[in-house]
């Protein structure tokens, strides 16, 4: 499975791989928000955690259809399905590659963009912690949505419709952790829930996604 | 004779055709009866006449959840036992469930305006129903997006399974997020919290009516789906190389 | 010794059985060429043997991980070089012919066999259609799998390349492998036998186990 991970990372970073697009989208989104709600830092500060999480979530969503669509088009998916790797492993590796090339850069960029949105410095550790714990679930659930819609020609919009409701618990616990961290409450509880969701998603969703892929390969 | 016999399309068509008139008649009688009886009840001492919307609101909300559970059961039957009628029944049920969710949300808004002074509140129950509606929307969209019926049945089945888990998870996440101002369950087994019998019996009748209404609509829609698949099958057979 | 035994196989396409009652045995060192008019179900049968879709009825008896599958799409990544593409599949299939798992030896041999040595460092995007096809077929050599399942392998190959591919198959058969293929071109294989699928065309009608919606409701 390691060669597959290495290939996906290479492809993402070479020309046309789209590496960095998600972070650029994230930046644009964070830059547009003040135009919508006004430059007043008192107005920006309370919504900053939510905007950052939403921005990360939407940026992640944008690159989901690349997870399987390209491999489906050029026949690689057929060949991987006949390779000695279980399809569940292929799904897990591709979700991991998506997280490394999309989720992790978003996590790294979030504190910087937090400055733009007047996020208090005290919230930065909680922002980082919640994103690090939560974004793997976003990638894995996204891989599930991508596996379901891989055979569809115009699956992009449908993919969003299928995946976004699945993101609700992650988003709730992620932003709740930052809010509680800011208000001096206990962010440990939402972080634990977030970790539980991510762990369960990473452990179980590959089976559902592989089942969907098998249907689409028929 | 086992219940699985009715998974055979021909047998299902025969049996459902016999049940359908009774289901329609029962649905009309019970729904209209329950709602009409409900409107004849006295006004509530706190909520006044607005309480009468409960005879639409609660049955619709109940069916919104129950229809998803039925779809989950039908999807499991399809994925495990490969009964084609089961997959079509799940497909047929989804728009009914989505409409029930919309009715529950709309009647809730109409009730909430005089009671809470707002059409919409991000209350856990309201939010959960909105999320449930999104799951219905995704499920329906997936069915209509995939041309091959076999792939569509399998993929929507998997989506229904995963979606069920996340719908439930969202329910608890939303509770964690906001405690809300919706009143407690309308029908509770705990003594002292029960609705007065004056309201309870018309509500039971109305709920039975909505259940029968769902059954009637489900049978009609499943029969339509079966006929549509039969037509597609005949076309596929004629046009094969 | 037989590498593949197919018993009473029925396969479906578009929810209808395409062919049924197909039985054959493929011994090591032999090739079987499927014949029949367009749409009879050659591709479907090959995909079923490759494990990409389940059979409607019947059995396919072979070792696990025996199949190397090649179809119209070559599974090439344009951003990767020729040798890189091949090395990836060599690692995925674990090196092939026992060269310590790094696949370099096998990759070099495969490139030489398909006359791609001069192009080894070119990006795959720069190849012509015929060269891509040759690279796709070179992949078969690095898998180390005994049973080649080939769907129209000679599409877009010129006469010299067809001859070279014929030689590669002959070498594979001589080494104890076997091949199951659908092709319209005569590769001049003495080891090959033809199987005409026309007599196995499925009869329309209801069956005990319908292949899909189109049979269940016919």
| Tens digit of each residue's pLDDT (9 = 90 or more) over C67-120 | 899 888 888 888 888 888 888 888 888 744 444 444 457 888 888 888 888 888
Do the Cβ atoms of B149 and C213 come within 8 Å?
Answer: yes
Residue among B150, B226, B240 minimizing CB distance to C212: B150
Touching check for B97 and chain C: CB below 8 Å?
A: no
A110-119, A163-172, C120-129: which has the minimum mean pLDDT? C120-129
Domain limits for position A35: 2-217
Touching check for C67 and chain A: CB below 8 Å?
A: yes
Do the Cβ atoms of B150 and C15 come within 8 Å?
Answer: yes
Do the Cβ atoms of A84 and C53 come within 8 Å?
Answer: no
Closest CA of chain B from C16, distance in Å: 8
Averaged pLDDT for residues A6-10: 88
Place of tokens 């919409």: B120
Contacts of C67 in chain A (CB under 8 A): 82
Phi, psi of A39 (to 5 degrees): -80, -5
Which positions in chain A have a beta carbon within 8 angstroms of at least one beta carbon in chain C? 2-4, 7, 10-11, 14-17, 73-76, 78-85, 217-218
pLDDT value of position C130: 85
Confirm if A194 and A73 have CB atoms less than 8 A apart.
no
pLDDT value of position C103: 45
> Which chains border A (3 or more CB–CB pairs < 8 Å)?
B, C
> d(Cα B55, Cα B203) in Å, to the nearest integer?
6
pLDDT value of position B92: 95
Class of domain C1-66+146-218: alpha beta
- The confidence band for B185, taking pLDDT boundaries of 50, 70 and 90, is low
- Mean of per-residue pLDDT scores for chain B: 87
Do the Cβ atoms of B142 and A211 come within 8 Å?
Answer: no
Count of alpha carbons within 13 angstroms of residue A146, beta-carbon side: 26
Cβ contacts of A75 within 8 Å, gap of 6 or more: C71, C72, C73, C74, C75
Do the Cβ atoms of B166 and A166 come within 8 Å?
Answer: yes
pLDDT digits (tens, 9 = 90+) for C24-78: 999 888 889 998 888 888 999 999 999 999 999 899 998 888 889 988 888 888 8
| Cross-strand bridge partners of residue C27 | C2
Closest CA of chain B from A161, distance in Å: 6
Place of tokens 């919606």: C213
The pTM of this model reads 0.91
A108-117, B40-49, B89-98: which has the minimum mean pLDDT? B40-49
Do the Cβ atoms of A7 and C79 come within 8 Å?
Answer: no
- The confidence band for B95, taking pLDDT boundaries of 50, 70 and 90, is very high
> d(Cα C188, Cα A52) in Å, to the nearest integer?
65
Tell me: pLDDT of B192 over 70: no
**How many domains does chain A fold into?**
1
Do the Cβ atoms of C53 and A218 come within 8 Å?
Answer: yes
Contacts of C94 in chain A (CB under 8 A): 84
Q: Which B positions 114-153 lie with beta carbon below 8 A of chain C?
A: 148-150, 153
Tell me: pLDDT of B2 over 70: no
pLDDT value of position B160: 96
ipTM of the shown complex = 0.92
Range C111-115, long-range pairs (CB < 8 A, 24+ positions): C111/C82, C111/C83, C111/C86, C111/C138, C113/C138, C113/C141, C113/C164, C113/C167, C113/C168, C113/C171, C114/C138, C114/C141, C114/C161, C114/C164, C114/C165, C114/C168, C115/C161, C115/C164
Q: From edge to edge, which strands make up the β-sheet containing C2-13?
A: C16-27, C2-13, C57-62
Domain with CATH 3.40.50.300 in chain C: 1-66+146-218
Tell me: pLDDT of C165 over 70: yes
Do the Cβ atoms of A76 and C75 come within 8 Å?
Answer: yes
Disruptive mutation site among A144, A169, A180, A200 for chain B (greatest number of B CBs within 10 Å): A169
Cβ contacts of B134 within 8 Å, gap of 6 or more: A161, A164, A165
> Which chains border B (3 or more CB–CB pairs < 8 Å)?
A, C
Contacts of A172 in chain B (CB under 8 A): 170, 173-174, 176-177
Disruptive mutation site among C20, C217, C218 for chain B (greatest number of B CBs within 10 Å): C217
Phi, psi of C167 (to 5 degrees): -65, -40
Chain centroid, CA C26 distance in Å: 14
Closest CA of chain A from C191, distance in Å: 26
Disruptive mutation site among A82, A83, A97, A213 for chain C (greatest number of C CBs within 10 Å): A82
Range A131-134, long-range pairs (CB < 8 A, 24+ positions): A131/A52, A131/A53, A131/A56, A131/A106, A131/A107, A131/A174, A132/A107, A133/A174, A133/A191, A133/A194, A133/A195, A133/A198, A134/A53, A134/A170, A134/A173, A134/A174, A134/A194, A134/A197, A134/A198
Closest CA of chain C from A19, distance in Å: 13
Return the structure tokens found at A77.
């998916």
């Amino acid at each position: 499975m390691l060669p597959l991970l290495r290939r996906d990372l290479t492809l993402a970073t070479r020309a046309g791989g789209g590496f960095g697009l998600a972070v650029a989208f994230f930046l644009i989104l964070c830059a547009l928000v003040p135009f919508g709600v006004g430059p007043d830092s008192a107005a920006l500060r309370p919504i900053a955690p939510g905007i950052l999480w939403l921005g990360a979530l939407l940026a992640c969503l944008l690159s989901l259809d690349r997870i399987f669509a390209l491999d489906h088009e050029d026949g690689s998916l057929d060949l991987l399905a006949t390779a000695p790797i279980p399809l569940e492993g292929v799904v897990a590796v591709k979700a991991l590659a998506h997280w490394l090339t999309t989720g992790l850069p978003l996590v790294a960029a979030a504190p910087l963009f937090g400055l733009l949105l007047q996020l208090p410095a005290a919230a930065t550790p909680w922002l980082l912690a919640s994103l690090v714990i939560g974004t793997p679930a976003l990638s894995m659930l996204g891989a599930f949505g991508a596996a379901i819609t891989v055979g569809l020609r115009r699956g992009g919009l449908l993919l969003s419709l299928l995946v976004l409701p699945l993101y609700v618990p992650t988003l709730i616990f992620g932003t709740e952790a930052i809010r509680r961290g800011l208000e001096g409450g206990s962010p440990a509880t939402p972080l634990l829930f977030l970790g539980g969701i991510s762990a369960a998603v990473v452990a179980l969703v590959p089976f559902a996604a592989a089942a969907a892929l098998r249907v689409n390969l028929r | 004779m086992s219940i699985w016999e009715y998974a055979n399309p021909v047998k299902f068509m025969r049996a459902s055709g016999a049940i359908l008139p009774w289901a329609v008649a029962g649905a009309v009688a019970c729904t209209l009866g329950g709602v009409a009886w409900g409107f004849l009840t006295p006004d509530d001492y706190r909520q006044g006449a607005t309480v009468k919307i409960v005879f639409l609101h609660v049955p619709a909300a109940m069916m919104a959840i129950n229809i998803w559970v039925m779809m989950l059961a039908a999807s499991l039957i399809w994925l495990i036992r490969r009964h084609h009628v089961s997959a079509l029944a799940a497909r047929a049920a989804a728009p009914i469930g989505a409409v029930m969710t919309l009715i529950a949300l709309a009647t809730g808004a109409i009730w909430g305006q005089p009671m809470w002074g707002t059409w919409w509140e991000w209350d856990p129950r309201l939010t959960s129903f909105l999320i449930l509606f999104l799951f219905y929307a995704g499920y329906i969209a997936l069915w209509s997006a995939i041309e091959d019926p076999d792939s569509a049945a399998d993929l929507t089945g998997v989506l229904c399974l995963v979606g069920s888990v996340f719908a439930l998870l969202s329910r608890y996440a939303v509770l964690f997020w906001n405690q809300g101002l919706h009143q407690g369950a309308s029908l509770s087994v705990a003594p002292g919290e029960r609705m007065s019998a004056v309201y309870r019996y018309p509500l039971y009748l109305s709920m039975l009516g909505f259940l029968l209404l769902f059954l009637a609509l489900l049978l009609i829609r499943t029969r339509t789906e079966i006929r549509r698949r039969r037509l597609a099958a005949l076309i596929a057979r004629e046009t094969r190389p | 010794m037989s590498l593949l035994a197919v018993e009473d196989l029925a396969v479906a396409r578009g929810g209808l059985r395409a062919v049924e009652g197909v039985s054959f045995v493929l011994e090591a060192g032999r090739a079987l060429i499927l014949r029949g008019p367009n749409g009879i179900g050659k591709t479907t049968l090959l995909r079923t043997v490759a494990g990409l879709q389940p059979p409607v009825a019947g059995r396919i008896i072979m070792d696990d991980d025996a199949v190397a599958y090649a179809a119209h799409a070559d599974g090439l990544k344009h951003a990767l070089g020729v040798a890189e593409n091949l090395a990836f599949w060599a690692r995925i299939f674990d090196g092939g012919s026992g060269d310590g798992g790094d696949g370099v030896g096998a990759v070099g041999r495969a490139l030489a066999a398909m006359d791609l040595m001069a192009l080894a460092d070119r990006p795959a995007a720069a190849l012509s259609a015929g060269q891509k096809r040759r690279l796709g077929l070179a992949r078969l050599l690095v898998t180390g799998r005994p049973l080649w399942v080939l769907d129209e392998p000679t599409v877009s190959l010129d006469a010299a390349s067809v001859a070279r591919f014929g030689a590669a198959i002959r070498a594979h058969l001589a080494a104890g492998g076997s091949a199951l293929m659908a092709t319209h071109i005569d590769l001049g294989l003495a080891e090959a036998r033809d199987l005409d699928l026309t007599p196995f065309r499925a009869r329309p009608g209801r069956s005990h186990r319908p292949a899909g919606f189109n049979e269940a409701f016919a």
